[in-house]
Amino acid sequence: MVKIIKIVLLLFISALGLYFAFYNIDFNDLLYRILTVDLMRFSAAIIILIVACIFRAKRLQYIVSPLDDNISLHHLFSSTMIGYFGNGILFFRLGEVLKAYSISQGNKITPSESFGVIMLERIIDALTVLIFLLVFLPWLPTDNKTIRYWVIAFVAVTLLFTLIIVILRFINWKKFISSMGFISESIRNTTISIIDKIFNGIDAIIKTKHTWGIIISTSLIWVCYYLMTIWLLESCGIYLSLSGNFVMLLMGAIIIAVPALPGGLGTYEAGITFTLVLLFLVTKDEALTYAIVSHASNYIPYLVIGSIYFINSGLKISDIKKESN
């Protein structure tokens, strides 16, 4: 019953996003803009996305090496694409769990250890964006109240989450969480399981001999995303400053994390459209064109390539039920 309520809520959020994104839009003009997108830049953006996924797989190989140093780069690339495919078709971002099962398939590393590594990947990405944010800060248009609030909120949440992880690392956190009688036992057990997996991932990084490999591959991943953002904006005839492109990259990363239908349908279109309209004075038709094109450039490659790897892997959606319950 609870899952049904959650799904209905996600449907409502996505429907609301689609309504606001497409409200008062000339669909003939929108279709014309989409069909006249610069295919050269659009194709380059898709290629650089695949390159970013290869760097992701390489970083993953570095991270899991203390747990299993015999996993091939191709296997981790396929697992990465399967994870994105899963996030595109499953509710509650269960693609991450599917990715964990895929990584462990035929290898020494367990699904639980794999999931801890994946959680750690997300933390690394959040900290990387924070570092880039601090680097770009002098050039960001922080006189704009909306940008300033988003910057402050992102920095605060990232630092708070990191601080909590650091504090928990040095206390008997399992006993501490278990003592919270005002929280239901199922939530406490789930929280303990998630944190335990994160710490397993942290231990893997501490033990790895590839610290610089992780740093370099992470940097290359986000450089690819930055170039992809520029090319997709320019393919739609939108030219922003270097800092403006970074704002759109940052907003895209934040918006796609908002709970919604699989793939961020609705919330992504609304969030990206209004970011461009409010912050950069782009027309709504132009902004929505970019939102649709950029969403498609991410969604379609993951869906096509990920589905091929998923079918060939022999995995089943039912494989994740036990982990997700």
Mean pLDDT in consecutive groups of 10 residues from the start of the chain, 325 residues: 82 93 94 96 97 97 89 96 93 87 90 84 83 73 68 78 81 83 81 78 74 93 97 97 89 82 90 92 95 95 96 81 55
**SS3 category, 178:** helix
Supply angle C-alpha 85, 294, 143, rounded to 5. 125
Q: What pLDDT is stored for residue 130 in this prediction?
A: 78
Q: What pLDDT is stored for residue 86 in this prediction?
A: 93
Going by C-beta distance under 8 Å and a sequence separation of 6 or more, which residues neighbour residue 263?
A: 87, 88, 89, 295, 299
Q: Is 323 in contact with 100 (CB distance < 8 Å)? A: yes
Q: What pLDDT is stored for residue 262 in this prediction?
A: 87
Q: What pLDDT is stored for residue 216 in this prediction?
A: 95
pTM: 0.86
Q: What pLDDT is stored for residue 165 in this prediction?
A: 78
Going by C-beta distance under 8 Å and a sequence separation of 6 or more, which residues neighbour residue 272?
A: 248, 251, 252, 255, 287, 290, 291, 294, 295
Question: How many whole angstroms separate alpha carbon 242 and alpha carbon 136?
Answer: 9
Going by C-beta distance under 8 Å and a sequence separation of 6 or more, which residues neighbour residue 303?
A: 85, 88, 89
Q: What pLDDT is stored for residue 325 in this prediction?
A: 54
- For 12-43, write each residue's pLDDT tens digit: 999 999 999 999 999 999 999 999 999 999 99
